[in-house]
Amino acid sequence: MNPDVHEGGDADHPEERGTPVGRRVFLGTLALGALGVVAAPPLQRGLEGFLGGAADKDPTGLTGLLPNGGGFRYYSVASSVPRRNADTYRLKVDGLVDHPATYTLADLRALPQTRMVRDVQCVTGWRVPDTPFEGVRLSRLLDAAGVRPTARAIRFTCFDGTYSESLTLAQARRADVLVALRMQDKDLGHSHGGPVRLYVAPMYFYKSAKWLSGITVTDEVRPGYWEERGYDVDAWVGRSNGRDDEPTS
């Protein structure tokens, strides 16, 4: 991809969190280099909606540190996101399946839960080590739905009305891909995409769609929100987005 993406300050040193200039340079360079678009406005609007303008010192709007966020930044490309709770939350599974289904939060909680502790890694450089996530394996929901032979991919949609994501069917069936109900051993709060978000452990965190409301089985990959704006569809940590790890030998 564009070699300029390597310029992003802390991008190569993700342990150095909280360096907004580095992240700004990195994201700005990536967005401009890849597509000639500026990714800032939607993110800025998103942060203003939640943090009341706390992001005005950062034109990308990426520096909204959550109070007590433990290193997480708050991201939303939508300016406001409705709240869903145990009464109002629904997750729809449809598309190329034999048994479309709609799950409530109670339905999801009643299924076997998988807990994983991995590093969260945002493509812009910040990282939250050893973060527990817990939820239902996506593969379980796909098996229950009966994926048809022509299916190749999954499209994820969100009740923020804006964000979307994608995985190939093979990626979606990995054991380390969860429909997550809990993070850091607590029920997922609204700001982190609760009550239910996707968690794609081996990929950059933009794959982990917050406020998950739809899982549609499709015949081909349809690039998600950031992927339409220049980020890699196959977002393996350390092996995508111009950030390939150094060879170890």
Ligand X SMILES: Nc1nc2c(c(=O)[nH]1)N[C@H]1C(S)=C(S)[C@@H](COP(=O)(O)O)O[C@H]1N2
193 binds ligand X (CB under 6 A): yes
What's the min distance (Å) between Cβ of 124 and Mo ion?
A: 6
- Range 140-159, binding ligand X (CB under 6 A): 158
Q: Are the beta carbons of 25 and 38 closer than 8 angstroms?
A: no
Q: Which of 74, 89, 103, 199 binds ligand X (CB under 6 A)?
A: 74
Task: Respond yes or no on whether the N-terminal peptide bond of residue 195 is cis (omega within 30° of 0).
Answer: yes
What's the min distance (Å) between Cβ of 78 and ligand X?
A: 7
Residue 246 per-residue DSSP state: P
192 binds ligand X (CB under 6 A): yes
200 Cβ neighbours under 8 A, 6+ residues apart: 167, 171, 176, 177, 207, 208, 235
Residues 205-244: x where in contact with ligand X by CB under 6 A, - otherwise, as a string = xx-xxxx---------------------------------
What's the min distance (Å) between Cβ of 148 and ligand X?
A: 27
Q: Which of 44, 76, 139, 216 binds ligand X (CB under 6 A)?
A: 76
- Which runs of consecutive H residues, i.e. helices, occur in 17-159? 20-35, 40-51, 105-110, 138-145
d(CA 48, CA 33): 26
- Range 115-174, binding Mo ion (CB under 5 A): 122
Q: Which residue's entry shows tokens 């390597």?
A: 6
Helix (H, G, I), strand (E, B) or coil at 13: coil
> From the list Mo ion, ligand X, none, which binds 199 (C-beta under 5 to 8 Å, kind-based)?
none
- Range 182-211, binding Mo ion (CB under 5 A): 205-206
120 Cβ neighbours under 8 A, 6+ residues apart: 72, 127, 128, 129, 131, 205
50 binds ligand X (CB under 6 A): no
Residues engaged in binding Mo ion (CB under 5 A):
122, 205-206
Residues engaged in binding ligand X (CB under 6 A):
72-77, 122, 158, 160, 163, 192-193, 205-206, 208-211
